[in-house]
Amino acid sequence: MTSTCPHCGWPDSQLFRVVSRHATAAGLTVWARCACGSLQVREVGAAGARIVSRGRPDLVPGCPA
Ligand SMILES: [Zn+2]
């Protein structure tokens, strides 16, 4: 995975902080928080990990980015 966080540029390949993990039928769903505070949901399966959704940093309320 070569993408980076659009908010702070943190590489998605490096988990900053894992919030929780949930086993699903597809594999594993991992909630993680980025260095900038945005929350992301990853799906980890046999094909690898992909980011399902990504929240905004909650450390800077009102920021249009
Ligand atoms: Zn970030």
Model pLDDT, residue 62: 58
At position 23, the amino acid (one-letter code) is: A
Higher-pLDDT residue of 38, 58: 38
Alpha carbon of 51 to ligand 1 centroid (Å): 13
DSSP string computed for 8-45? T--BTTS-SEEEEEEEETTEEEEEEE-TTS-EEEEEEE
Alpha carbon of 34 to ligand 1 centroid (Å): 5
What's the predicted TM-score (pTM) here? 0.77
Q: Is the pLDDT of residue 26 over 90?
A: no
Alpha carbon of 26 to ligand 1 centroid (Å): 26
Alpha carbon of 48 to ligand 1 centroid (Å): 21
Q: What is the mean pLDDT of residues 1-27?
A: 90
54-65 pLDDT tens trace? 998 875 555 555
Other C-beta atoms closer than 10 Å to the C-beta of 42 total 20
Model pLDDT, residue 57: 87
Q: What is the mean pLDDT of residues 25-33?
A: 92
